[in-house]
A and B are shown apart, each in its own frame.
Chain A
Amino acid sequence: CAQPPRPASGAADHWSGRLALQIEDASAQSFSAGFELQGSPDAGALTLFNPLGNIIAELQWTPGRAILNNGGEQRQSASLQTLVQALTGSELPIAALFGWLKGEPVQAAGWQADLSALDKGRLTATRHQPAPQAVLRVILSL
């Protein structure tokens, strides 16, 4: 399968680039930001940036504990998914995303990933269920 790009700085696993989540017929919930993702599904961090390069929010997690910091206040939760939903307005399959970015066709309920352009730093995943359909597009800075 496609040879995944080498992680940006050779650290464990570390990717950066831009991601966009488009929700069909509800573009108000759509979301797009610059990002840095590092670590693993068990322990890692996701940092989001606005177009001018300022940090919007930082999400960090370890087993059983996740912390969302948006510069003004900090939220903690036992569930990473709860804070991902709070941050992006939608359920993002973070665990699967780590696998997809490494070129592994990981299964995520309701999602279908296209890894064919990963060598060009592009990943697209479509959520068929639950409705409404959503398309996650990731562009890696190689």
Chain B
Amino acid sequence: DGLKSLENFMKTAHSGRADFTQIVTAPPKDGQAQRPKQSSGSFAFQRPGRFKFVYQKPFEQTIVADGQTLWLYDVDLNQVTQRAQAQALGSTPAALLASAPDMAALRADYALEAAPEQDGLQWVQATPKARDGQLKSVRVGFEGDKLAALDILDSFGQRSQIRFTGMQLNPALPAGSFQFKPPAGADLLKP
């Protein structure tokens, strides 16, 4: 079931790489359904604490967590935002699943239970323990032991569905895959 897949994924996947597409559907506004927004790019991770989202569409944006610092580079704005990883995006589901060292670390932030199979994937329901958190519910989908999908509902009622394709577990990642050096001339923000 989903929990077994999650446990195997956490135990066996020390690193990984995949392409992703993300569909974000905002809550209906005065009864009117909102147009879903789609984005896509590539995702990589290495335990503990390192991950990287490279968005290519609809605009170029790179998010890199090097273990201490979270870097966000917005190409159009030519701007790099640097934050301590712990309190920034570090706790988002994708980041947590990819960079948490083990199940115990996951259980610290989420109550985990198996959920019914759907769309050919095994699912885990992860309910955030943080009371005032931004997220209402997170569902994690597996294809065997490979992370395949995330379905996130935030406390505003916005739904974000991420689908990973071509997931390779424990690939040979080039050295420095999770290092980030701000490009020359880019503005550096440290909010």
Interface residues of A (CB under 8 A from B): 9, 18, 20, 22, 27-32, 36, 45, 47, 50-56, 58, 69, 71-73, 137, 139, 141
Contacts and interface: CB of A to CB of B under 8 A. Distances in A.
A20 B77 contact: yes
6 contacts: A18-B76, A28-B190, A32-B79, A55-B156, A56-B134, A71-B155
A139 B77 contact: yes
A51 B63 contact: yes
Contact of B132 (A28, A47, A52, A72): A72
Contacts, number: 86
Interface in B85-109: 89, 92, 94
B77 A141 contact: no
Contacts of B181: none
A52 B89 contact: yes
The 10 closest A-B pairs by CB, nearest first: A72-B132, A71-B155, A30-B189, A55-B156, A53-B24, A71-B134, A139-B76, A27-B189, A55-B158, A20-B77
Given A27-B189, A28-B191, A141-B59, A54 B77 contact: no
Interface string B1-28: 0000000000000000000001010100
